[in-house]
Amino acid sequence: KQEVTQIPAALSVPEGENLVLNCSFTDSAIYNLQWFRQDPGKGLTSLLLIQSSQREQTSGRLNASLDKSSGRSTLYIAASQPGDSATYLCAVMNRDDKIIFGKGTRLHILP
């Protein structure tokens, strides 16, 4: 049974710093992995989607990597800004097309 873990559960960093969020999964037979952000009381916004055959994806200040063999993904945020404060969720799509989410990392960027 696929399990997705995100550590730490919460993180506070000063504005301008680079940071890394971690996601691990127990079954490497995934179809893809997706990173989302969720603002309080809102829905999810897709940030990056990495197919199982890919190693990384980049969008602006965000870079996500995928290492299927070790069951890990990281989301790198460069030059953090207060507007980056949100909960970041990692989700894997299994081969049976079911999506399993981690419980997220609450990120707070200190001005």
Partner 1 sequence: KAGVTQTPRYLIKTRGQQVTLSCSPISGHRSVSWYQQTPGQGLQFLFEYFSETQRNKGNFPGRFSGRQFSNSRSEMNVSTLELGDSALYLCASSLNSGGHIQYFGAGTRLSVL
71: contact with partner 1 by CB under 8 A:
no
- In this structure, are residues 12 and 110 in contact, taking their beta carbons and an 8 Å threshold? yes
The C-alpha atoms of residue 94 and residue 87 are separated, in whole angstroms, by 23
59: contact with partner 1 by CB under 8 A:
no
CB of 15 to partner 1, least distance (A): 27
103: contact with partner 1 by CB under 8 A:
yes
For residue 14, cis peptide bond before it (omega within 30 degrees of 0): no
- The smaller minimum CB distance to partner 1, of residues 15 and 94, is found at 94
12: contact with partner 1 by CB under 8 A:
no
